[in-house]
């Protein structure tokens, strides 16, 4: 099931396919299709890449979530039909400091078409806090009760 219908490299647009309607679109899957397109289409390689991917880095017993990073000025155009576009996974643009729904362009859609974007980034973030050796079990319980975090260790991190 393709998610990308076409790409417009000069205008930095990624047009989603009809198959993107009614499914959860993962930015990493869009990236994989763009990568495959560049691998098989020589003409696309004369342009800078539209999207890169990061993540899947070791983080203790698991890995960090993967995310898509759009290049400067790149926008995704939803399929041209009224629907709710469901995006699950992180989509960012580090060059412009944008994320999520700000990276979609609805301007090319036909008049009367309404696309609502339901953006659901991962709810996981790893933050290391150097607390030293003075943190007690009660301190950890107090911190955890006021936030939604799990304190794995009070050891110092680099």
Reported as a single tens digit per residue, the pLDDT across 29-47 is 999 999 999 999 999 999 9
> Higher pLDDT residue, 92 or 17?
17
118: helix, strand or coil: strand
* 3 state DSSP class of 91: strand
Torsion angle defined by CA atoms of residues 29, 35, 39 and 40, in that order, rounded to the nearest 10 degrees: 50
Q: Across the chain, what does the average pLDDT equal?
A: 84
- The pLDDT of residue 125 is above 70: no
Residue with the larger pLDDT of the pair 11 and 136: 11
Angstrom distances, CA of residue 15 to CA of 45, 51, 64, 154:
18, 13, 28, 47
The reported pLDDT for the residue numbered 50 is 96
H or E stretch at 145: helix 137-146
Which residues in 15-48 are b (16+ Cβ under 10 Å) and which e?
Answer: bbeeebbeeebbbbbbbbbbeebbeeeeeeeeee
Is residue 14 predicted with pLDDT exceeding 80? yes
Angle of CA points 17, 23, 25, to nearest 5°: 70
pLDDT band at residue 135 under the 50/70/90 scheme: confident
* 106 in Cβ contact with 43 (< 8 Å): no
The C-alpha atoms of residue 23 and residue 21 are separated, in whole angstroms, by 6
Strands (E), 2-142: 4-8, 13-16, 24-25, 51-54, 58-59, 62-63, 67-70, 75-77, 83-88, 90-93, 98-99, 115-120
Check pLDDT > 90 for residue 27.
Answer: yes
The band of 131, judged by pLDDT with boundaries at 50, 70 and 90, is: low
């Amino acid at each position: 099931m393709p998610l990308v219908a076409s790409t417009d490299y000069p205008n930095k647009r990624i047009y989603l396919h009809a198959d993107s309607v009614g499914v959860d679109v993962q930015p990493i899957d869009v990236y994989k299709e763009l990568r495959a397109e560049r691998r098989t289409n020589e003409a696309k390689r004369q342009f800078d890449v539209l999207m890169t991917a990061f993540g899947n880095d070791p983080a203790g017993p698991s890995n960090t979530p993967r995310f898509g990073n759009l290049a400067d000025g790149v926008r995704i155009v939803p399929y041209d039909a009224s629907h709710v576009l469901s995006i699950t996974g992180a989509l960012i643009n580090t060059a412009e400091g944008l994320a999520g729904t700000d990276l979609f362009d609805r301007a090319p859609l036909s008049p009367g078409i309404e696309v609502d974007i339901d953006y659901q980034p991962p709810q996981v973030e790893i933050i290391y806090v150097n607390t030293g050796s003075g943190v007690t079990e009660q301190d950890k319980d107090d911190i955890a009760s006021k936030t939604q975090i799990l304190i794995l260790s009070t050891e110092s991190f680099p």
